[in-house]
């Protein structure tokens, strides 16, 4: 059956596997830079919160494609570390707006700066057009529901 798959598809699967393995290693590293007790998958949550500034839990769960219960447990962990806060939603008293605390923002920004410097070093020999195309193709791939 595997032999029936076109070579380019097998190459994509292989490269994505390598990318995910490298991504997990980087996530562990950067999570520890934000906070020694931060779970690696929480970096993505912090990135969304930094990008959105403030967002409802249900909206964030929908964007990430995870359940509200799972997300709520992860947010509780980030709150206990002092990185995230919940504020009452002015439009719905039953809901809350999630955002980074000042400490969360500072720690995230410092860790992200280090990560971006690493990306810059890794891609510095690539032509700008290649980096732009790489970003475009990754974005296109990431928009596909799995």
DSSP 8-class letter at 2: G
What is the tens place of the pLDDT at every residue in 22-44? 888 878 888 888 888 888 888 88
Residue 146: its pLDDT value, please?
A: 63
Residue stretches of the chain with pLDDT short of 50: none
Residue 124: its pLDDT value, please?
A: 96
Residue 107: is it exposed, middle or buried by C-beta count within 10 angstroms (0-12/13-18/19+)?
A: buried
Residue 1: its pLDDT value, please?
A: 57
Q: Compute CA 79 distance to the chain's CA centroid, rounded to the nearest angstrom.
A: 17
What's the CATH code, domain 2-137?
A: 1.10.10.10
Q: In 10 A of CB 104, how many CB atoms? A: 22
């Amino acid at each position: 059956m595997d032999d029936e798959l076109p070579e380019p598809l097998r190459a994509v699967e292989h490269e994505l596997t390598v990318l995910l393995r490298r991504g997990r290693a980087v996530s562990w590293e950067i999570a520890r830079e934000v906070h020694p007790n931060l779970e690696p998958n929480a970096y993505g949550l912090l990135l969304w919160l930094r990008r959105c500034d403030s967002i409802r839990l249900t909206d964030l769960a929908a964007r990430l494609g995870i359940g509200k219960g799972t997300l709520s447990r992860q947010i509780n962990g980030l709150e206990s570390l002092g990185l995230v806060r919940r504020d009452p939603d002015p439009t719905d008293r039953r809901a809350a707006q999630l955002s980074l605390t000042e400490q969360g923002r500072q720690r995230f920004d410092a860790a992200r700066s280090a990560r971006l410097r690493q990306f810059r070093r890794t891609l510095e020999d690539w032509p700008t057009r290649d980096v732009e195309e790489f970003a475009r193709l990754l974005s296109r791939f990431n928009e596909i529901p799995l």
